[in-house]
Amino acid sequence: MFASESPAHFKVFTTFLYTGALTHPNLRPIAASKYYYRFVTELFAFAGYFSAYSFRNALLDAFFTRIASAPDDFPYGSVQDVYDCTDASSSLRNLVVDVVVNTGRKGDIKLWKQYLLTTFLVDCIEGAAEEEKVMFAYGVEEVATQAWLEDKKERLCGDYHVHTREELRAARTEDDMEMDGDGDDGGLDMSDKVKAELSVIEDLQKLRID
């Protein structure tokens, strides 16, 4: 067995293969959020290890559905678990970052700051820059948040699902190319990399979440 594997993971997986349902006490709607999100995250890593893509996609949907059911109670305390169990190219990480960039509030960041990874905050800053969003704004309207979540629900498959090993490999290759450059200009030179890092640090300081 690999490190994150347990009989419970296998049981949920085999039940899913036969029924298409995610069944376990920790996956019930009444389960405490910290147990629910931790278990889904562990199962997501399990599914990726075994290339069980339908199972993986169902778990990602379950993770999002729980968030969408209580948008004012985003699981900031579970971000560490997501980052511990996934790599930088993970669509579950991308989903968590996308939700925070588009629905997160500054007050929540202040409340959870001691639990949040710098890597996560940097990912949020980069995600916000790509979408030209103002992160952690005060007064995020509930209607706008709900509309974004409903729209995202319709696009989960296209944005985050993986159906073949080739798709997963292609996503990782794309990430590597973005980091290394396209080959024509040799990528970023050292001075540019330093400037980029300093820019991220400055953005973090601007958050003023002390």
Return the pLDDT at 138. 53
User: pTM of the prediction?
Assistant: 0.76
Those residues whose C-beta lies under 8 Å from the C-beta of residue 210, and which sit 6 or more positions away, are 113
**How far is residue 32 from each of residues 35, 39, 68, 73, 148, measured CA to CA in Å?**
6, 11, 16, 12, 25
Residue 118 identity (one-letter amino acid): T
Burial of residue 124 (CB within 10 Å: 0-12, 13-18, 19+) is: buried
Residue pLDDT, tens place only, 23-37? 999 999 899 999 999
- The pair of structure tokens assigned to 62 is 């379950």
Asked if residue 119 has pLDDT above 50, the reply is yes
DSSP conformation class of 164:
S
Q: What pLDDT band is residue 174 in, cutting at 50, 70 and 90? A: very low
Share of the chain above pLDDT 90, in %: 45
Return the pLDDT at 146. 87
60-69, 117-126, 127-136, 186-195: the lowest-pLDDT one: 186-195
> Which range has highest mean pLDDT (49-53, 58-62, 114-118, 201-205)?
58-62
Return the pLDDT at 3. 44
Residue among 58, 49, 66, 45 at smallest CA distance from 17: 58
Asked if residue 133 has pLDDT above 60, the reply is yes
Q: What residue spans define the domains of the chain?
A: 7-207
**DSSP reduced 3-state for 37:** helix
Q: Are 85 and 44 in contact (CB under 8 A)?
A: yes
Question: Which is more confident, 74 or 135?
Answer: 74
* Section 37-61 average pLDDT: 93
Return the pLDDT at 183. 42
* Section 201-207 average pLDDT: 53
Neighbours of 148 (CB within 10 A): 17
Residue pLDDT, tens place only, 54-95? 999 999 999 999 999 988 889 999 999 999 999 998 999 999
